[in-house]
Amino acid sequence: MSIEPEGTMLRPTNMKSYREELWFETKTRRAYLNITPQIEALVKKSGVREGLVLVNAMHITASVYINDDEPGLLQDYDEFLERLAPHEGRYRHNNTGEDNGDAHLKRQIMGREVVVAITEGKLDFGPWEQIFYGEFDGRRRKRVLVKIIGD
């Protein structure tokens, strides 16, 4: 019995690379923003049909993650993170004059970046998947790096 691997044969390519930054400034300390439409627009703008997109929070108190865009779930995240790392908790980091020790911990839990496959020019998601920007110490400008590679 012989098993053939599934997939596409490798071929020579002229790989493209595209980079852009998204900027956010939330009015609240914590926020969860669905940024899928912005990422889809950048994939289209890049011209990449087959490849990968990296979406990376470029600040240590913000996150990028993938999940369902359901209001109850977003509220559950917020309550869960606040139980694990309450804003009013005691953090050695806050001895530096900051008040965001909790935001650093929340970012570690939710993650720094996501990578999504691009297939036929579109984000190749599973059911219900969306890309989110999670803000844990808002009310100031922060950026997200979007790097797209492929052909």
User: Quick one: CA dihedral 135, 141, 147, 148, positive or negative?
Assistant: positive
Q: Assess if residue 57 is contained within a domain.
A: yes
Residues of the chain with pLDDT under 70: 1-13
Q: Does residue 1 lie within any of the structural domains?
A: no
75 phi and psi, to 5 degrees?
-65, -40
Domain, as residue range, for 85? 16-150
Residue 111 lies in a domain: yes
**pLDDT for position 14:** 83
Question: CA-CA distances (angstroms) from residue 58 to 20, 109, 111, 130?
Answer: 12, 16, 12, 19
- Asked whether residue 58 is assigned to any structural domain, the reply reads yes
Residue 105 forms part of a structural domain: yes
113 located within any domain: yes
pLDDT of residue 85: 98
pLDDT digits (tens, 9 = 90+) for 37-48: 999 999 999 999
Q: What is the CATH number of the domain that holds 143?
A: 2.60.120.460
Extract the tokens encoding 23: 């900027």
* Predicted local confidence at residue 68, as pLDDT: 97
Tell me whether residue 60 is in a domain.
yes
Residue 38 lies in a domain: yes
User: What's the number of domains the chain is made of?
Assistant: 1
